[in-house]
Amino acid sequence: MSDPIEPFLGTWILDVEASDFEQSAPPQAGSCRIDTEGQRLVFHMLALDAKGETTEAELKGVPDGKPVKLEESGLVDAMVLYFRPDGALVSEARRGGAALMTAARKISDDGRTMTITQTVHLPDDTSPIDTAVYRRAQ
């Protein structure tokens, strides 16, 4: 059986034109690098927003479906990372056991494109979706 993590590893560059952002103004640019640290996956994200401000974030987790408590976030109290049966790598930000945000990452058949579908579950029962298309860096 092949390693489900391997196709996700590497550096990915945001294709702004191919992406669709409902939650906010599209960023000017962005990248995502996915590495391993032992059994953990490490996501390094960088974005240049519509106003020219740079945002960096890092997420670490084992894709085992077990909630990991977060201490530093005031909005969410746990993060869950897992693989869906279709091969998507999913992260969920939760509060009180309920998913507030879900990001599902899928790799294209040729391995050159990663599509991240991020859904935010708002208190008014709406769920805006951002679809970010990333191309594998050469």
Q: Name residues whose C-beta falls within 8 Å of residue 57's C-beta, 6 or more positions apart in sequence.
A: 43, 44, 45
Domains and CATH numbers, the chain: 6-136 (2.40.128.20)
Choose the weakest-confidence range: 1-10, 31-40, 101-110.
Answer: 1-10
Confidence category of residue 117, pLDDT binned at 50, 70, 90? very high
Tokens linked to 37 = 């640290």
Confidence category of residue 116, pLDDT binned at 50, 70, 90? very high
**pLDDT attached to residue 75:** 79
pLDDT at 72 over 80: no
- Give the Cα separation of 65 and 54 in Å (integer): 31
